Structure 1
Amino acid sequence: MNEPLNHTNTFPMNEQQIPNWFSDEDICLAFLFHKRWPQGFQCPYCHWQHQQFPPSRTIICIHCGHPSSITTNTIMHGSKKPLSKWLLAIWWLCANETDTSAKNLQRLLKISSYQTAWTWLQKLRMAMGTADNTACHGLVELGCAPVLPAWEKPNQALVVAAAETILPAGITGRIRMATIERLEPSAINAFLRTAVSSGSSIFAPGLPAYRTIDQEGYLYVVDSPTHNPHRAEQLIKGFEIWLNKVHRGGVALKHLQLYLNEFCFRNNSGMLPNLEAIFNLLLEGVLANKPKPYRELVSTQIIARRT
C-alpha cells in the first residue's frame, strides 16, 4: 500500500499538516500493515503467508500458532507507544536536518521520558544505515581521516569514506562512510566489500593500506599530488563540521557509526524526488531492522585514539 495514510490528504510537508496524517491510530496500523506485508501477512517465525488477515496490531499465526505483531522483528519491537508516534518521529527526522535532538523529539511526541526519545533516535539512525545500503559504483574516490567530536577531545576515531564521482560534471554522487580501528588492508577491503560495487575504479592514496585493492575485484588508481580537492578527505571533514554544528559535539565516539549513517542517508536521499520518497525509504529500514535493546545501544564500542 503506497497511498497516503488518509487518502483524502496529501503527504505532509510541514508540521501544520501533520494532524491529517498521524492522528488516527487505525489508519496508521493499516498503513504499516500493508507496507510491511504488501502481499498479506507473513509470519515472522514460520514465514507462512496469510493473505486474508485484516490489519491488526497482534496476530496469531494459524499455521504455527505463534503470536506476533506489526512491530515484531523491527526496531519498534516491544514498544508500547502508539504507531502514530513512530510514524511522526520518522517523518520529523526526514523533514529536519538540524535541531534533531532527543529533547526536541520528546517535546514533539509529548512523551515524559528523555531516554525513550534518545533511544528512538539511535534506532532510527540504525534504520538509516539499513535503508541506505546501495553501494557506490563507477569512479569512486576513497580516503581515510581522523574525526574528533568536540565532546571527546583529545580522543579521535578513524573514518573511511567512499564517494562516487559523477562525470563529466565531477560532482559527488552516492557516499558511504564507516569507522575503522586502524588503516590497514583488511579494514579497507572489508569496507569496500559492502560500500563499493565490484568492478568500480577506486581512486585512492598510494599508501600500503590501499595496495591490495586491485586484488578484490576493483581497478586501483593511485592518487596524485596534483589531484585537488581530495573528495573523500573533504567529505570526512564535512562530517566532522556537521557533527559539531548540528549535534553540538555532544556525541560519544562509541555512537559515531550511527551518526555516519545519518550523514550518509541525508546526502544520498538528496537524490530522491521528494520528502515522501525519503520517508518511505527510512520506513523500509525501520521495518527491516532487528530490535536492539537500550543497554546494547549505549554500550557499543569503537576504538578511540589519542591525538
Structure 2
Amino acid sequence: MNEPLNRTNTFSVNEQQIQKWLTDEEGCLAFLFHKRWPQGFHCPYCRWQHQQLPPSRTVICAHCGHPSSISTNTIMHGSKKALSKWLLAIWWICANETETSAKNLQRLLKLSSYQTAWTWLQKLRMAMGTADNTACHGLVELGCAPVMPAWEKPNQALVVAAAETILPAGITGRIRMTTIERLEPSAINAFLRTAVTAGSSVFAPGLPAYREVAQEGYLYVVDAPTQNPHRAEQLIKSFEIWLNKVHRGGVALKHLQLYLNEFCFRSNSAMLPNMEAVFNLLLEGVLAHKPKPYRELVSTRIAKETS
C-alpha cells in the first residue's frame, strides 16, 4: 500500500537515478507526483486540494469524484507507457545534443513503433518552448532572416530572433526565436511582447518594419553595418547550420518552430548550473504544456506556444 508522500523529501536526479528508475515505477510515480503537486493533489476539474493523498497514477477526487491521471492535461496525456520511459526520454534529450533522432529514441526505449518515438520527440520540443519562456532583457539585438531546411529546398521560412548582449564582455546571453509569415510591424510587435521585457534597449537593422515599430516606443533602431552581420542574424544562420547538420535537413517547414524551441532551449539551458537543473526545467514544461494529439502534430503548422 502506498504511503503518504513526505513533502520534506528532496529528489536528486542524475544518470544513476535515471537508471535506477528504469526498474522502479513506484519511485518514478512518487517523483512525478511530487513535481506536479508539491503541495498535495490539486484536482484539475473542481480545483479541490487534497494534501494527504499518497502518490498514485490515477487519483479519484474525494470532492467531485472525478478520476485524474498524473498525466492528465500534460504533454503526456493519454500515454499508457511506463513513467520511467518518459523520465528516461526527458533525461536523454537533455543530455544529448547531436543524436536526438526518433530512431535513436525508439531504440533506447525499446518502442515497437517509430511513430510513438517521433511523436514523443515533437512533444518534448513543444515542452521546451513552454519551459524556456523567460524573455530577453537589458541590451537586446533583434534581427530576421530566412531559413531553408535542406529537405524542403527551395522553400524557406522567415525567422525573427532576439539575443541579449551581456556587457562588458559583449557575449550572447538569452535568446528567443520564432517563425513569422512576413517581416512587418505587427509581427515584430507580437514577438517583442513575449520575447523582450519592457524597458529593454533593443537594436535592429534600419528597415521600415523596425522603424514603424520604433515609433510605438518598442525599439531604438540603428543600421547594422553590412561588413559586420547583425548578431541576431548570425544566430539564425547558426540555427540553420545546426538544423541541417544535427537533423540532416529532415524537417518540414510546418514543424520548424519545434526545432527553434529545441535550439533556444539548448542555448539558454547552457547557463544552468548542471544537468539536473536542465532536466527539471524541461520536466516543468512537460507537466505544464497542454495535451497535443498526434493528428494535430502532423496536420497543421506548429506555432510558438507558451502554455
1:253–1:302: 8 Å Cα contact kept in structure 2? Answer: no
1:34 maps to 2:34: yes
AA matched with 1:78: G
Which residues of 2 match residues 157-306 of structure 1 at below 5 A? 157-225=157-225, 228-301=228-301
Deviation at 1:66, TM superposition (A): 1.1
Q: Give the whole-Å Cα distance in 2 for the aligned partners of 1:128 and 1:215.
A: 33
1:71–1:77: 8 Å Cα contact kept in structure 2? Answer: yes
Q: Give the whole-Å Cα distance in 2 for the aligned partners of 1:69 and 1:166.
A: 43
Aligned residues: 296
Deviation sequence 1:226-283 (CA, Å, 0-9, x none) = 7834100000000000000000000000000000000000000000000000000000
Deviation sequence 1:27-68 (CA, Å, 0-9, x none) = 000000000000000001111110011000011111111111
Q: Give the whole-Å Cα distance in 1 for the aligned partners of 2:29 and 2:302.
A: 37
AA matched with 2:10: E
Deviation sequence 1:61-107 (CA, Å, 0-9, x none) = 11111111100000101000000000000000000001100000000
Q: Give the whole-Å Cα distance in 2 for the aligned partners of 1:277 and 1:23.
A: 23
2:146–2:159: 8 Å Cα contact kept in structure 1? Answer: yes
Q: Give the whole-Å Cα distance in 2 for the aligned partners of 1:111 and 1:3.
A: 31
SS of match in other structure, 2:220:
strand
Match of 1:49 in 2: 49
Q: Give the whole-Å Cα distance in 1 for the aligned partners of 2:291 and 2:207.
A: 39
1:28–1:84: 8 Å Cα contact kept in structure 2? Answer: yes
Q: Give the whole-Å Cα distance in 2 for the aligned partners of 1:255 and 1:11.
A: 31
1:11 maps to 2:14: yes
Q: Give the whole-Å Cα distance in 1 for the aligned partners of 2:48 and 2:85.
A: 29
SS of match in other structure, 1:211:
helix
Match of 2:123 in 1: 123
Q: Give the whole-Å Cα distance in 2 for the aligned partners of 1:22 and 1:268.
A: 29
SS of match in other structure, 1:144:
strand
1:12–1:21: 8 Å Cα contact kept in structure 2? Answer: no
Identity of aligned residues (%): 86
1:11–1:21: 8 Å Cα contact kept in structure 2? Answer: no
Name which of structure 1's ranges 223-232 and 38-47 shifts more when overlaid on structure 2: 223-232
Deviation sequence 1:174-206 (CA, Å, 0-9, x none) = 000000000000001001100000111111011
Deviation sequence 1:100-125 (CA, Å, 0-9, x none) = 00000000000100000000000000
Runs (5+) with no aligned partner, structure 2: 1-6
Deviation at 1:222, TM superposition (A): 1.4
2:258–2:302: 8 Å Cα contact kept in structure 1? Answer: no
Q: Give the whole-Å Cα distance in 2 for the aligned partners of 1:39 and 1:68.
A: 17
- TM-score, normalised to structure 1, is 0.93
AA matched with 2:283: L
AA matched with 1:12: E
Q: Give the whole-Å Cα distance in 1 for the aligned partners of 2:51 and 2:195.
A: 36
Deviation at 1:299, TM superposition (A): 1.4
Q: CA RMSD in A?
A: 1.7
SS of match in other structure, 1:133:
coil
Runs (5+) with no aligned partner, structure 1: none
- TM-score, normalised to structure 2, is 0.93
